Structure formats: structure tokens, C-alpha cells
């Protein structure tokens, strides 16, 4: 299985200047490849362009200072971006052309297969990079012993911090998914309540109002600075740090919540949401973007795969309208938070009803058959435990029934 492990780097000033030199050389090569494409009648194959790199080194001295694999990955990056544009065009999106990269928009370099090594120098871990040197690294968690490091990407964040992301392959068998899962859950995502599941839990969305206020104040201060001045650059760092703080806290919440569901259940059913399309809808788009539903579902999917848990994304159409007890559809405006069926009289929280419909559709999707009635027919809950997002404090155990309500 393939994983990415990210670690903080602490390069001294001399090595940081060397890293910046290598990154900028890669940026210039990226722009040079785009220039070749603009002059050529047809775009050549990637390996043909990579084969020209030795000839470029004969007159472009800076390329000789960068590891050959790093240069090859720059060419690959151009072709990957072209493939992305082509895919978007085939999906009917209006796309333009690839643009040259200014220094601020190109901040990383990639070592593939060779040119890197983890070392222990004088009792501290370091990352050795070919033609750069040994950089102190903060290994906050161990890389598995049965793992093979295939790639290392080094990136400078807008905050000025450096990180190394290891692409590793772990020699392990994927757990087999149970044929008849017993621990089942359906999950409905929202804004006020981030998730509402069929076990009766409603997890509140994390409150990042203080972080957003700090970010807005920092952005206002930045707008008053002269662009490009020393004070402007200093305040730009402050804005970047506010963004990074908000991102870290949001991803921490999503990692812990997704890990809980992947570990605690044999079967997880969710809605197959078009997160990008939802953000583009008019009204309340900021809250929908901040909810990061797409990120949560992607995290949940790969963690379920790693744990051997069934993960099913079902059609979200009418999951709120349908009655989980009898199937009759009832239109409800968004402000109506309770489901009341005019046919069978079943009453439940709007999101709880949707969660049971999601679970029912998920079971049908994999063809699970039970000798008795499905949980949707026998155990519809009417009470919900509302759990604050602050209770998500420990990976794998974010919620307890003895917690307070919110």
C-alpha cells in the first residue's frame, strides 16, 4: 500500500539558500519546457524531452548543479499539468493554456527513486539530498520498518517553513472486508452538525470563528501596506501563518473523525457528494467551502480501505425527502429540521432520517442480505446525542454517550 508521510525540515541558513537556488532552477526549467511547447508544432513525448536534458546542461550550467532525477520530475510536472487541462476540457470546462511560473508560485522539488537518504548524524535525524547536503528533519513518527521510500518532495510553504513528504510503499496485505458486516453506520454531513449518523450521534462543526477573525484582521493590515515593501512581506507571512493554523486545525478534526468511523465500523455508507458543485451554488458558499466535505470523504475512503471496512458512496438524491420508515417523499424547506411523515407518522431529526436512508441504500449497493429486517426497519432512533466538536480530542475515540450536548 502507498502512503505519504510529511515531516518538518529545519535547514540552516546556508542550506536554505541552496534549496531556494535548486527550486528556482527547477522553475526556470519548467518555463523553458513551456517555451519549447509554444514553438513546436506538436507536443513531443515526455521521454523525448527528458532525453534533451543532457544537451541542455552543455550550455545551461545551473542544470548541472541539480540532481538529474529532480530535473526529470520537472518535465513530468509539465506533462501532468497538461493532462489535467486535457481532462478538464474533455469534461466540458473552459480551460486556457499553462502559464509561466513566477518565483512565488513554484516552491517545491521532487527526488524520485534516488538522490535522497535518511541518516542519523551525531544522534539527530537528517535528510540527505544529492547536491544539497544533510538537512535536520523532525521525525515526529517513525516510518514503518517494512516500508520502501520511493519519492521525496521538498516544499517551502508560504509561511517560510520547509517540509519533506515521503512517498512510501508498505509491504502489507490489505485486510479482507467482512462478507456480512455487523457494525453498520450511515453518515449524513451538514454545516451546523458536521455529521449525523445512524447510531444517534450528531457531531457539531468545529468553531473556527476566532481563527477567521485573526485572519481577517491580518488581511486588513496587509492591504494597508505598500506592496513589495519589507513591512508588506512581514505581514504577508502573518497572513500565511493564519491560513496555515486554520488549515491544520481543520485537517486535524477531519483526520480524527474519519479515523473513528473507519476503525469502529465494518460498513460505512455516505453520500456521493459533488463537493465542488455545492460550493459553486449561490448562498452560504463560504460555510460549504469551510466544511471541507470532499476532504472528509476522501480521508474516510482511504482509511476504510486500509482498515478493511466497507465504504459505499450512494446517490444523495432525495435522502432528506424520503421517509426512512415507509419511503414516502415529503418536501421540506431547509429551515425545517424535523422529519414528520404524513403517511406513517414517523418523526425524527431531519439529518437522522437522511442518515438511515443513506445506510439503507448502501446496504442495497453491496447486496447485503439479512435473515431479519434491516436496521432501517427495526431500530429507527428518535433521540440524538449532540456532541461538541471539542470532544474530538483523541484519534479513534472522538465521541462518548456521556458527553455534553451542544
Q: What is the pLDDT of residue 105?
A: 92
The interaxial angle of helices 230-264 and 293-307, nearest 10 deg, is: 40
Compute the CA torsion angle 46, 52, 53, 59 (nearest 10 deg). Answer: -150
Question: What is the three-class DSSP state of 231?
Answer: helix
Number of helices (H) and strands (E), helices first, in the chain? 11, 15
H or E segment and range at residue 36: helix 13-39
DSSP string, 56-116: HHHH-GGGGGS-HHHHHHHHHHHHHHHHHHHHHHHTT-------PPPGGG--EEEEESSSE
* 292 Ramachandran zone, left/alpha/beta (phi>0; psi -120 to 50): left
> Residue 276: CB partners within 8 Å, gap ≥ 6?
294
CB 311 within 8 A of CB 317: no
> Exposed e or buried b for every residue in 156-194, given b needs 16+ CB within 10 A?
beebeebbbebbbeeeeeeeebeeebeebbbbbbbeebb
CB 356 within 8 A of CB 372: no
* 133 Ramachandran zone, left/alpha/beta (phi>0; psi -120 to 50): left
CB 293 within 8 A of CB 314: no
Helices (H), 224-349: 230-264, 275-280, 285-291, 293-307
What one-character DSSP code corresponds to residue 229? S
**250: number of Cβ within 10 Å:** 18
Alpha carbon distance 105, 28 (integer Å): 12
CB 328 within 8 A of CB 341: yes
What one-character DSSP code corresponds to residue 329? B
Give me the residues paired with residue 19 across strands. none
Structural domains in the chain, CATH included, are 2-170 (no CATH), 184-208+241-391 (3.30.420)
Alpha carbon distance 317, 271 (integer Å): 9
**Exposure of 33 by Cβ count < 10 A (0-12 exposed, 13-18 middle, 19+ buried)?**
buried
CB 9 within 8 A of CB 155: no
Each of the 406 residues of the chain gets a pLDDT tens digit; together they read 788 999 999 999 999 999 999 999 999 999 999 998 888 778 888 999 999 999 999 999 999 999 999 999 999 999 999 999 888 888 777 778 888 999 989 999 999 999 999 998 888 999 999 999 999 999 999 888 888 999 999 999 999 999 999 999 887 777 888 888 888 999 888 877 888 888 888 888 888 889 999 999 999 999 999 998 999 999 999 999 999 999 999 999 999 999 999 999 999 998 887 655 555 544 555 555 556 788 888 999 989 988 889 898 888 787 777 887 787 777 776 666 777 777 777 777 778 888 888 888 888 877 664 433 334 443 444 455 655 655 564 444 444 333 333 3
* 272 Ramachandran zone, left/alpha/beta (phi>0; psi -120 to 50): beta
Q: Could you tell me the end-to-end alpha-carbon distance of the chain, in angstroms, rounded to an integer?
A: 39
CB 292 within 8 A of CB 325: no
Q: What is the pLDDT of residue 396?
A: 43
Question: What is the three-class DSSP state of 273?
Answer: coil
Alpha carbon distance 9, 134 (integer Å): 10
Alpha carbon distance 280, 284 (integer Å): 10
Q: What is the pLDDT of residue 394?
A: 45
Question: What is the three-class DSSP state of 47?
Answer: helix
Amino acid at each position: 500500500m502507498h502512503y505519504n508521510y510529511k515531516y518538518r525540515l529545519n535547514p540552516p541558513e546556508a542550506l536554505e539558500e541552496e534549496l531556494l537556488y535548486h527550486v528556482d532552477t527547477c522553475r526556470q526549467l519548467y518555463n523553458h519546457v513551456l517555451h519549447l511547447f509554444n514553438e513546436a508544432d506538436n507536443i513531443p513525448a515526455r521521454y523525448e524531452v527528458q532525453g534533451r536534458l543532457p544537451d541542455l546542461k552543455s550550455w545551461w550550467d545551473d542544470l548541472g548543479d541539480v540532481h538529474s532525477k529532480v530535473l526529470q520530475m520537472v518535465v513530468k510536472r509539465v506533462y501532468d499539468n497538461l493532462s489535467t487541462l486535457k481532462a478538464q476540457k474533455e469534461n466540458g470546462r473552459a480551460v486556457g493554456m499553462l502559464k509561466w511560473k513566477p518565483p512565488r508560485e513554484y516552491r517545491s522539488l521532487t527526488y524520485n527513486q534516488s538522490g535522497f537518504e535518511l541518516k542519523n548524524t551525531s544522534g539527530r535525524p537528517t535528510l540527505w539530498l544529492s547536491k544539497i547536503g544533510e538537512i535536520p528533519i523532525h521525525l515526529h513518527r517513525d516510518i514503518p520498518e517494512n516500508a520502501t521510500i520511493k519519492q521525496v518532495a521538498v516544499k517551502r510553504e508560504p509561511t517560510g517553513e520547509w517540509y519533506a513528504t515521503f512517498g512510501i510503499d508498505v509491504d502489507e496485505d490489505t485486510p479482507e472486508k467482512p462478507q456480512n458486516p455487523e457494525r453498520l453506520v450511515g453518515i449524513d454531513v451538514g454545516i451546523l452538525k458536521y455529521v449525523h449518523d445512524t447510531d444517534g450521534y450528531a457531531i457539531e462543526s468545529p468553531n473556527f470563528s476566532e481563527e477567521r477573525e485573526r485572519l481577517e484582521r491580518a488581511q486588513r493590515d496587509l492591504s494597508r501596506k505598500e506592496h513589495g515593501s519589507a513591512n508588506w512581506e512581514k505581514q504577508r507571512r502573518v497572513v500565511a501563518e493564519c491560513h496555515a493554523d486554520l488549515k491544520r486545525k481543520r485537517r486535524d478534526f477531519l483526520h480524527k473523525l474519519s479515523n473513528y468511523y473507519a476503525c469502529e465500523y465494518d460498513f460505512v455508507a455516505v453520500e456521493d457528494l459533488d463537493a465542488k458543485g455545492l460550493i459553486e451554488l449561490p448562498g452560504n458558499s463560504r460555510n460549504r467551502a469551510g466544511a471541507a466535505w470532499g476532504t472528509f470523504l476522501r480521508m474516510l475512503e482511504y482509511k476504510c480501505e486500509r482498515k478493511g471496512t466497507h465504504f459505499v458512496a450512494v446517490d444523495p438524491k432525495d435522502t432528506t425527502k424520503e421517509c426512512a420508515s415507509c419511503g414516502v417523499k415529503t418536501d421540506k424547506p431547509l429551515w425545517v429540521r424535523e422529519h414528520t411523515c404524513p403517511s406513517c407518522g414517523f418523526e425524527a431529526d431531519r439529518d437522522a432520517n437522511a442518515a438511515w436512508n443513506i445506510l439503507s441504500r448502501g446496504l442495497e449497493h453491496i447486496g447485503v442480505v439479512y435473515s431479519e429486517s434491516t436496521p432501517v426497519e427495526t431500530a429507527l432512533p428518535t433521540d440524538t446525542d449532540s456532541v461538541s466538536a471539542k470532544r474530538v480530542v483523541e484519534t479513534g475515540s472522538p465521541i462518548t454517550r456521556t458527553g455534553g450536548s451542544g
